[in-house]
Amino acid sequence: MRRRQLAFSRSAEGLRWVADLLADKLLAQMRLLASMAERSDAPLAFVSGLAEGMRVLERMERRFRRWKPAGRRGWGEAEFVRVCEAFRGQEGTASRVYFSQLGVLLSEVTELTGRQKRPAYEPFNALLNYLYGMLYTSVLLGLLKSGIDPYMGYYTPTSTVVRQRCRTIL
């Protein structure tokens, strides 16, 4: 099982799967933001500023849906690393847009200056960290029970590239 998981995680099909997951995530975020804008108590600043953020998220979602691997001859470690880095950059941009929209939405309740992980000083970020921690345990146990190695990434460069980068830094 782990051998198949490793082969899939380094394949074009594995990255296609990741692209679909990221597109689904963005779609869910857009749906949540749209549903919040429909509420009668939604702040005017949130509703009026949402269109631009939604356009960015929609572009990213379409980009992930349309992603196709390079031709057979172009698929190798360098292409894999390039795609992973591009995915990470696009996902980071989408997350910044999403959380900035949440910040405007929650501006009347709490000040949200951006995503904080450790330590989180704002109540909203502290709540997110707590809930992510609870979810992490459930997901980790589910993966282990199903025979999937949760420490084998689908979205990380190969160990050779990591070693090369570590040498460069050191």
Among 45-49, 77-81, 93-97, where is mean pLDDT lowest? Answer: 77-81
**Residue 20 structural domain:** 2-169
Q: What percent of the chain has pLDDT over 70?
A: 82
How much is the pTM?
Answer: 0.76
Find the distance separating the first CA and the last CA of the chain, reported in whole Å.
35
Q: Mapping DSSP to helix (H, G, I), strand (E, B) and coil, where does residue 153 land? A: coil
Number of domains in the chain: 1
CATH code, 123: 1.20.120.920
**Mean pLDDT for the stretch of residues 64-74:** 78
> Rounded to whole angstroms, how far apart are CA atoms 83 and 58?
20
What sign for the dihedral angle of Cα 106, 108, 114, 120? negative
- Tell me the per-residue pLDDT of 8-23, one tens digit each, with 9 for 90 and over: 887 888 888 899 999 9
